[in-house]
Chain A
Amino acid sequence: MVGIVIVTHGRMATGLIEAAEMIVGEQEALVPVHLQEMDDVEGLMERVTKAVSQVDSGQGALIMVDLPGASPFNASARIAMQQDNIGVVTGVSLPMLAETLVQRDGSSIQELIDIAKNAGMIGIKDLTEILNP
């Protein structure tokens, strides 16, 4: 099973995991990393690397981050560019995370990235459009 690390500004990662587990039940190989005010990118890279080795049981890891271009992304991308078997996807949300978790068993990293992207995008709806299709 592909491991998942969530890297966000503040404690959003922990909140997301707590929320996702309400929907899909308790998870293994799912670890949060938080960017704090005093962090630099290199220090954050160390913590993400440690989290990746914690969740990777040989099938690699998917790192989900919040904002493209921000420090959680920058740190994760630099790790993924230097290490095999790591995927990075941005815009982590509850729809994205919940769907990825239920599809995790038996999926490759690339398959999970496609699932995550798709779930993230279809998780955004405008009620007016739902009511007036």
Chain B
Amino acid sequence: MHFRHLRMDNRLIHGQILVSWNARYKIDRIIVTNDKVASDPIQVTLLKAVAPIGAEVSVFSLDETVEYCNSPEAQDEGIFIIAKFPEDGVALLERGLEMDEINLGNQAFVRGSKKLSNSVFLTDTSVRAMQKAHEMGVKITCRMMPDDPTKEFWPTIEKSFPEWLEDK
């Protein structure tokens, strides 16, 4: 089984991924996915220009990402998927991408978000998106670096944002 990882990181491709993750895993392709980013030619050009050593970069819409990852050619590649927001990552799961684990990376402060850690701020819609992933049986981790603990992170989110949870 080839490496496959889904990280939700609003900084998209950046230093931690280029250096630490790329050194640890055999990554053939990085897929950056968010509908807005995929339709911005400046961001697409830049993201493709600075691919890490040994990897190719694709910038896809959410639908294109699911389609590509489920295609036969993708089965022979180590793929690191970077969804810009938790909403994007969870939308991939809902549209048919199969992952056992999704990883919460950097999420900067935006209006209405609350602090979870120095590098993670969550909005109500991102918390609810991850609640959906949790209810689908997907493990949620919060690993900035490959060596960070792989423990289930949902209880921490649940405890930090009880006011934003959807009633079951």
Contact = CB atoms under 8 A, between A and B. Distances in A.
User: Does A pair with B?
Assistant: yes
Contacts of A69: 13-15, 18, 50-52
B15 A9 contact: yes
Interface in A35-66: 37-41, 43
Nearest to B43: A78
Contact of B121 (A38, A41, A68, A81): A38
A68 B109 contact: no
Contact of B14 (A71, A77, A78, A82): A71
Interface in A62-112: 67-71, 73-74, 77-78, 81-82
Interface string A4-48: 000001000000000000000000000000000111110100000
Given A69-B18, A73-B50, A43 B108 contact: yes
A70 B18 contact: yes
Interface in B17-75: 18-19, 42-43, 45-46, 50-52
B46 A77 contact: yes
Contacts of A78: 42-43, 46
A39 B118 CA distance: 10
B12 interface: yes
Contact of A40 (B15, B43, B108): B108
Interface of A: 9, 37-41, 43, 67-71, 73-74, 77-78, 81-82
6 contacts: A40-B109, A41-B10, A41-B11, A67-B15, A67-B19, A70-B15
In the A-B complex, the 9 residue pairs with the smallest Cβ-Cβ separation, listed nearest first, are A69-B50, A40-B108, A70-B15, A37-B118, A37-B119, A71-B14, A70-B14, A69-B18, A71-B11
Interface of B: 10-15, 18-19, 42-43, 45-46, 50-52, 106, 108-110, 118-119, 121
